Amino acid sequence: MPSKNMLPKGDRRRSVKAEYRAQRTLAQEREAAQRAAGEWSEAEPRRQGILTADIVTAAASPAPSPWAGRANLVTSGPESGKMPPEHDTQSTPRYSSPYAVEAAAPEIAVLEDLEPEDGVRSLTAPPEAQGLRLDAYLAKAVPGISRARVVLLIEGGQVTVDGEPAKGKQKLKGGESIEIEGDPQPAPLNAVPEDIPLAVVYEDDDLAAIDKPAGMMVHAGSGAPEHNTGTLVNALLYRFGHRAGSSGAAGLSELGGPLRPGIVHRLDKQTSGLILIAKNDRTHQRLAAMFSARDLRKTYIALVHGVLEPAEGTVSLAIARDLVRRTRMTTRRGGAGDARSAVSHYRVLERIAGPYGSFTLVEVRIETGRTHQIRVHMQALGHAVVGDTLYGAPRLIQPVRGGAATEPLAGSASEPLALERNFLHATALALAHPTTGRPLELHAPLPGELEDLLGRLRKPVA
């Protein structure tokens, strides 16, 4: 129910300071007149509506507090109230403070002298371990072992607590007998063969050249083995690694380790084209030396947005990791310690002006092989590679007229175009054979999806 003193609904945002001050002035004048006439009574102010007299009087002669003189009580200041002060060590606060600092957790001693007997390490959980998870305690107490390794031990059934198989999440009470058998056994990270078709451009006893499709990773990372599938390495192991009378990766070099047999250099996942494979360690070493000395000629075909000028040029900009978006590289940190020199030579093959705007088809020869080199250098020139959304290319290529986006056009250009990969293809490799020394010139034509996109971009407006 609204108060009788509440302002009307339409006036509730209006300030009442002026009315209050006027009433206070009248009250003060009334009080002064009554005091002058000898009619003022100390019992009258509130009945007469004088709002300030009691405030002034109280300030002049404050009434004594009924709690004054009581031991362990405070009645003013930030701790005002009738409760004992916090500094009284004989009293316990009624409510815990939300800002109280928790007591530091007890320090866990590292068991430096923990030696295995018959391959088993035995220890007893100290009282300080009470409330800790088993895996957290072991990671702190057992020297030279990480929490991830502790988890491997527990999942492998190599840890018992009071004779029972342990669980990583179980809480300790202190005093438990813990036994650790052996060392952690990480799952093997070897890639497995898979029957995946390969486009072999060239092959002999020492090396092979593969036309890798876009969308295929060259090799997997060091994650779980079940995720190491569908890569070029899986296909290579099936094609070259298992032959009559051989086992493992006998048909591929092993210098790259179990995850990268035969791999000398790489291509980005969404880049197609030629990649060299070494079949033995000697060839691998020689090819690696040729890449390092820049004795190979690697040529790419790229389609970029806009009109790239001049018709020929060289981009020599160091490349470093982007500090903000860690999946990207950048040329803006040329003076950074992790920046590496990169040189790209380009030559315009064709300028395209059609229903989807302007594009430039370029041939790029790289002297170095930095991560995302061509893509980063083209972006630095202001002409992103078509389909390369990581470096600024649009996801959809919209139809245009007169250089500005318009309503959909009639005919084949009525719908936006999408390319689910980068328009970047490693089209040629020229080198001297690492064993015979004879020149090798290898070529891989543009994939069908890139040729199709070029045809649609070139098609004149209907």
Q: What is the pLDDT of residue 411?
A: 45
Of the CA atoms within 13 Å of residue 22, those in its CB half-sphere come to 4
Tell me which of 181, 202, 220 is where a domain ends.
Answer: 181
CA distance linking residue 232 with residue 297, whole number of Å: 22
- 315: which strand partners? 344
Residue spans of the chain under pLDDT 70: 1-16, 40-105, 185-190, 221-227, 242-250, 401-414, 461-462
Please state at what angle helix 147-155 crosses helix 134-141, rounded to 10 degrees: 120
Helix (H, G, I), strand (E, B) or coil at 284: helix
CATH number of the CATH domain containing 125: 3.10.290.10
The count of other CB atoms within 10 Å of the CB of residue 386 is 26
| Same domain for 418 and 271 | no
CB 281 within 8 A of CB 253: yes
| Same domain for 386 and 285 | no
How far separated are the first and last CA of the chain, in Å rounded?
74
| Same domain for 444 and 415 | yes
Q: What is the pLDDT of residue 405?
A: 44
| Same domain for 289 and 220 | yes
Q: What is the pLDDT of residue 451?
A: 97
CB 253 within 8 A of CB 434: no
| Same domain for 447 and 308 | yes
How deeply is 135 buried, as exposed, middle or buried, from its count of CB atoms within 10 A (0-12, 13-18, 19+)? buried
Query: In this structure, is residue 93 part of a structural domain?
Result: no
Antiparallel, parallel or unpaired: β 272-278 and 424-432: parallel
| Same domain for 447 and 416 | yes
> How many separate domains does the chain show?
4
Q: What is the pLDDT of residue 221?
A: 66
CA distance linking residue 371 with residue 392, whole number of Å: 17
Amino acid (1-letter code) at residue 437? G
Q: What sign does the CA torsion over 16, 22, 23, 24 have? A: positive
CA distance linking residue 160 with residue 169, whole number of Å: 13
| Same domain for 456 and 312 | yes
For 125, the domain range is 120-181
The Cα-based distances of 324 to 106, 321, 328, 330, 390 in angstroms read 38, 9, 9, 10, 13
The answer to whether 88 is a known catalytic residue is no
Indicate which residue of 135, 206, 211, 268 is catalytic: 268
